[in-house]
A and B are shown apart, each in its own frame.
Chain A
Amino acid sequence: MSIPKEKLLWMYQTMVKSRYYEELLVEAYSEGKKPVFNIGAGPVPGEMHLSNGQEPAAVGICAHLTEDDTVASPHRPHHHAIAKGVDLKRMTAEIFGKVTGLGKGKGGHMHLFDPAVKFSCGGIVAAGIPQAAGAALAAKQKGKDWVAVAFIGEGAVNAGAFHESMNLAALWKLPLIVVVEDNSWGISVPKTASTAIFSNDKRATAYDNTKGYYVKDNDPMEMYMASQEAVERARRGEGPSIIEIETYRFLGHFQGDPELYREKDEVPALLTKDPIEKLKNHLINEELATENELEQLENEAKHDVDVAFEYARQSEYPLPESALQDVFC
């Protein structure tokens, strides 16, 4: 089974877009926070969880999804949102707290909702899994072959919501795929100190109708292949899957994290295994694209991001009294 060239190029371009997006966000987030870091200061206040290095998890599965499929993402959502096709301008405006944002400035970076592409995210660990199971249930009840994907970190598999939801999804054979992004760290606690199983795909054996997949080395192409199988069996009504991908967190848990718990050489070592470079080398070595063609894709991606940031910066802040709206419809 080989991966179609256009899918590989889409994955490459989307990873570049996500990476560049977060590079700009690092800059924007740091504005107003120097020389003294104050989490509430600057044009982008509040917590900021970035996904640099984790892009393969997002693109490998979103390459198989359409607008009718649901994605529920956790507190580290940008790569998933970008891969799912969330409106980049309105997403960025939301992160800047602007009235043109997806939530009119009421959600922020952890609470992005774009119903047009069925994307949501939330700040409570593991809480998106039952909601994705509900979207999968809705698809089944409507007689559609739509699927729902819940992205979680490896720390979330130890929450009750994961186990309750897997049992329910297996019992009802729901088209649910849980993607576990194992970046090794639950804030400062390593997986080895939190999780009584090496790889969480093995937890699939606990339930009937459920399959587990493990993707090592943060490989976008392996992620694509595993996801293809999981999505296809979900669309056929064969039940849920758990895909665990070994991925890399290049940055801290959140911006401002001193990361004293990490060995000094960990991140430099991870950076030598950058998945974007890996895919780029593959595309060139296999003669699927030239340097020039890839550069053009990169420029397109960066242009979209630049436009989104410009839109966000130019947008107005919401009227303070609009805080009272949207509790009920």
Chain B
Amino acid sequence: MQTTKRMLTGNKAMAEAIAQEMERDPSVFVLGEDVGKYGGIFGATQGLLEKFGEERIKDTPISETAFIGAAIGAAADGMKPIVELMFVDFFGVCMDQIYNHMAKIPYMSGGSVKLPMVLMTGVGGGYSDAAQHSQTLYATFAHLPGMKVVAPSTPYDLKGMMTSAIRDENPVVFMFHKTLQGLGWMDQVEESVGEVPEESYLVPLGKAKVVREGKDVTIVGIQMMTHQATAAAKILEEKGISAEVIDIRSLVPLDKEAILSSVRKTHRLVVVDEDYLSFGFTSEIAAIVAEEALYELEAPIKRLAIPDVPIPYSRDLEKYVIPNAQKIADAVVKLMEE
């Protein structure tokens, strides 16, 4: 007998994790712009104000330095704040609090100060929001020591990793992809809806996931690019190429072993990113494989990412710069010919 699966959108999965942790722990609270009545511009706090009231779901002024700094101060004093930076692109107005304070205070204090806080933020493009509202900036955050940086790609992981992030004693930058929130006013992406258990559960931070097994080539993706890689793998299957797809899920900590063991099996590597190409996630993975598994490779590593331009507005321009399934499949086919 088939039981009915409980399906949730990405945003509802996140909101459910937050609600369950708020019920469990009175020191958890949320602050950020439009997190109250609006429920978060990308729905991450939907329904929470009604459940927990204004003292624990706090709308803030447009003062990212003040409210992210306040989250740091509250965390140092034993609270567990979840603070939302609406778009990751807005980090420019408050990065001092993030990288000079949130990321460094635990270290500079020799571990005597803990900052158990979550900085959640919307990332990603693909809907013509142009250069100041479409970035992912994964590598910008992952480059700076002292923050865990995670980027889940499914409703199941959004819930399980949010629960882990809230319980983590370290600052966690929790990046959710806007298009994977399953919002009614964006492109309806199949992967933005998924099975989510009602009870609370943990998905560990720092573990990659093999989302599709294969033997000819490894494709490492992140968030939306994982889904594009999976779609590419289907195209490739028709051409008789068996691609293994890894969803990295977490940049810091990085699950190196998952990548290395896959490369040892397939001997070919493609890395796909929705961030800028140079000095980024794709470079990092390529460097690790070059350092630790170079002689396993039967072909050069291929990287696909935003080609070092700001994200353009017009639909065809944006489409041109963001990797997609076809581009990934084409790259793999070329790689197999090497």
Contacts and interface: CB of A to CB of B under 8 A. Distances in A.
B4 interface: no
Interface residues of A, number: 45
Given A141-B55, A168-B60, A168-B61, A133 B70 contact: yes
Contacts of B77: 70, 118, 134-135, 138-139
B74 A107 contact: no
B145 interface: yes
A319 B107 CA distance: 15
Interface string A216-229: 00000000000000
Contacts of B105: 113, 120, 122
B106 A326 contact: yes
Nearest to B102: A131
Contacts of B69: 127, 129-131, 133-134, 161, 165
A325 interface: yes
B93 to A, nearest CB: 8
Interface string B66-109: 11111111111111010000000000000011001100011111
Given A133-B66, A167-B61, A168-B70, A111 B108 contact: yes
A328 interface: yes
A148 B79 CA distance: 15
A114 B75 CA distance: 15
A89 interface: no
A118 B72 CA distance: 13
B278 interface: no
B108 A134 contact: no
Contact of A133 (B73, B101, B145): B73
B114 interface: yes
Given A124-B96, A130-B73, A137-B73, A106 B63 contact: no
A260 interface: no
B223 interface: no
Contacts of B109: 102-103, 106-107, 111, 113, 115, 120, 326
Residue among B69, B71, B75, B81 having the largest count of chain A Cβ atoms under 10 Å: B69
A70 B73 contact: yes
Contact of A326 (B65, B67, B110): B110
A262 to B, nearest CB: 30
Interface in A165-205: 165, 167-168, 171-172
Nearest to A123: B100
B146 interface: yes
A148 B106 contact: no
Interface of A: 70, 72, 101-107, 111, 113-115, 118, 120, 122, 124, 127, 129-139, 141-142, 148, 160-161, 164-165, 167-168, 171-172, 325-329
27 contacts: A101-B110, A105-B110, A106-B108, A113-B109, A114-B112, A120-B105, A122-B100, A130-B65, A130-B72, A130-B73, A131-B73, A131-B76, A133-B73, A134-B69, A134-B70, A134-B72, A134-B74, A134-B77, A135-B76, A137-B74, A137-B79, A148-B73, A161-B66, A168-B70, A326-B107, A327-B106, A328-B106
In the A-B complex, list the 3 residue pairs whose CB atoms are closest, starting with the nearest: A134-B73, A130-B69, A104-B110
